[in-house]
Amino acid sequence: MGRYTKTVLTVIAGCLLVLVGAQIDFPPKAYAETGAAGAEGSQSKLAAVTEQGDVYFMDGNEIIYHCLSGRCSKVLD
């Protein structure tokens, strides 16, 4: 194989690595479920997570919930 062929194949391999690398999510994206325990099965509208791991979300009835370690309680009606 000639030098030109090796160079072209190396460029093609590099382009393939860039294309595949762009499709990998690292770290993977996190998605919230549409309902949570304590929310009476309603659809969530807004959610926020603090650096400490607290989760706040507003359900379809405009009630705000606070969740920590799998337990949710109403914060604001």
Predicted pLDDT of residue 7: 96
pLDDT at position 76? 67
User: Tens digit of pLDDT for each residue in 3-41?
Assistant: 999 999 999 999 999 999 888 877 666 666 655 455 455
- Specify whether the CB–CB gap between 65 and 32 falls below 8 A: no
DSSP character string of 20-50: HHHH--SSPP----S--TTTTTPPEEEEEE-
Residue closest to 44 by CA, chosen among 58, 32, 62 = 58
Domain extent listing, the chain: 3-28+35-76
